[in-house]
Structure 1
């Protein structure tokens, strides 16, 4: 099979390579529901030594820069309560944690969750967190620009390997809400 984007040596439908995925991601693929069939999710093998964005796109294809999305775990606090959510934004942007995310969570303060919290609760590796297979009940805020992509390159739950997922399938994930303006220009503010 040839990957729909990028130039990967190995590309297979995710349901055919569940053993390459961490348990929560493999379970989500097994139980997949929605208008987009699970076979449309493509697993590509990647070298974790080439994970730096500049090196990654040089090796696997320049078209990936505009199709790459980062999934980050955020913690919102109000009073003594903390709520967790995931945000999915283009890799050329950053999540508007202090604005859009904070308001969506109804939090007084929001920040990126500590690495130990993010990896411990998702069952995924740092640098490989994906929106596929997040803990039940977590909100997933998906930037509208990601939902509009024919295919988005996201983590696979491990540092080795990535998933190519149609943007509209990401918008259908459990707990997903498509949000305009979730991603800010990298290094920029919305003022």
Structure 2
């Protein structure tokens, strides 16, 4: 199948390649529900050696610069408690951690979660964290510009491979909150 964005050799419906995904991502695809059918989520194989954004878009297509999103784990703290959340923003922007995220989590302080916390809590590889298959209790903060795209390139849970997901499907994920100005 031809990928709707990028120059990938093969795009496979995610339900047909669950073995290529980490367990939490595969489970989320297996139990998928929403307005977009699971077979419209596509898996593409990528070379982790080409992960740098400039090299990645040169190899896989310039259109990916405007249609890629990063999913990062943040920690909001208030008093003695910490609340984890994920943020999804276009790769051409950065997460407004100290403004939008801090207010949304009702935290006194917010920061990016340490790598070992992000990977340990999600069951995903660093550099491959995706909004699909996150822990149920987490909020997923999604920049509104991501939702507006026909397809978005996101991680697959592993460093090797990406998912192409219709933007509107990301707004329906568990815990999703669509926000203006999350990515600045």
Normalised by the length of structure 1, the TM-score is: 0.96
Task: Tell me the SS of whatever aligns to 2:15.
Answer: helix
Aligned to 2:99: 99
1:136 Cα deviation after fit: 1.1
- What does 1:79-90 correspond to in 2, within 5 Å? 79-90=79-90
Q: Distance in 1 between matches of 2:68 and 2:11?
A: 16
2:159 corresponds to 1:171: no
Q: Distance in 2 between matches of 1:5 and 1:17?
A: 19
4+ aligned runs moved over 4 Å, structure 1: none
Aligned to 1:122: 122
Q: Distance in 2 between matches of 1:178 and 1:80?
A: 28
Q: Distance in 2 between matches of 1:11 and 1:48?
A: 17
2:15 corresponds to 1:15: yes
1:107 Cα deviation after fit: 0.2
Q: Distance in 1 between matches of 2:103 and 2:121?
A: 23
1:183 Cα deviation after fit: 0.3
Task: Tell me the SS of whatever aligns to 2:163.
Answer: strand
Q: Distance in 2 between matches of 1:11 and 1:40?
A: 10
Aligned to 1:66: 66
- What does 1:17-56 correspond to in 2, within 5 Å? 17-56=17-56
Q: Distance in 2 between matches of 1:67 and 1:88?
A: 12
Structure 1: tracts of 5 or more residues without a match = 185-191
Aligned to 1:187: none
2:113 corresponds to 1:113: yes
Tell me the alpha carbon deviations over residues 21-44 of structure 1, each in whole angstroms, 9 at most, x when there is no partner: 000000000000100000010000
Q: Distance in 2 between matches of 1:12 and 1:36?
A: 16
Q: How many residues align?
A: 184
Task: Tell me the SS of whatever aligns to 1:94.
Answer: coil
Structure 2: tracts of 5 or more residues without a match = none
Normalised by the length of structure 2, the TM-score is: 0.99
Task: Tell me the SS of whatever aligns to 2:57.
Answer: helix
Aligned to 1:57: 57
